[in-house]
Structure 1
Amino acid sequence: MRIVTKINLALAAVVGVSALLNFAALQATVAPRFNQIEDETAQRNQDRALEAIQLQQGQVAASARDYAFWDDTFSFMHGENASYEVKNLNAESMKALNVNFYLALEPDGGVKIDKGFDFSAGEPAELKLTSEPRFPAGHPYLAEFPEAGSRTGLVNTKHGVVAVGYAPILDSERNGPRAGTLLFGKIIDLDLLRETTKVDFELRPFAGAVASNSMVHSDDAIEVTSTLMDVEGKPIADLVSKTSRSISSAGHQAVWAALALLLLAGGALIASLAVILRRIALKRIAGMREHLVQIKSTGTLHPLPADSRRDELSEMVTAFNDMAAQLEELREQLRRQDYQHGAADQAAEVLHNIRNAVSPIAAIISDLADETDARWRDNLDKALGELKNGRIDLERREKLNQFVSLSAAKLLEAERKRHSDVATLKGIVRHVDRILKDGEALSRAERIAEPIDLPRQLRAFASVAGRRPGVSIEFDIADDVCVLGHRIPLEQVWGNLLINAAEAIEATGRGEGTIRVRVVEAELNGAPAAEIQIADDGDGFPPDASERIFQKGFSTRRERSGGLGLHWCANAVGAMGGRLFAESDGPGRGATLRLVLPKARAGLRSAA
Structure 2
Amino acid sequence: MRLIHRVVIILSAAALAMLVGNALILHLLVGKEFRSIESSLAARNADRAVDAVSNNLGHLRASAMDWATWDSSYAFMRGERVEEFISENLMLQSFQGIKVNLMYFVRFDGTVVWGEARDLASGERITLPELPTDRLDAGRMDLLAPKEDGADEVPAGLLMTSNGPMLVVGAPIHRADGTGSAAGFLLLGRFLDNGLVDSLGRQVHARFTLAPIAATPVSGAWITGAAAAVPAETVGSVADAFPEPTGELASLAPDQADPRRMVSVEDDHLTVRTILNDIGGEPALVLETSYARGISKAGNGMVNYVIALMAAVLAAAGLAILVMLNRNVVKPVARLMERVLEARGCPAQPPASSVAAGAPDEIAILGAEFERTLEQLDETRKRLVEQSFYTGMAELVGGMTHNVRNALTPISIKLWHIGRALDMAHLDKMAIAVGRVEAATADRQDCALAVTYLKACMERLRSSHSTIEADIGVIGNQATQIEQIFYDHERFSRAERQVETIDLSRVIDEASKLLQNSERIRIVVRPEVGRLPAARGHHVVLSQVFGNLIVNAEEAILAGGNEGGTITIGGEVVRSDGAEMVELHVSDDGQGIPEDKLDRIFERGYSTRRAHSGGIGLHWCANSLAGMGGGIWAVSDGVGRGARMVVRLPIKKRVFHFDSLKESA
Q: TM-score, normalised by structure 1?
A: 0.40
Which is higher, the Rg of structure 1 or of structure 2?
2
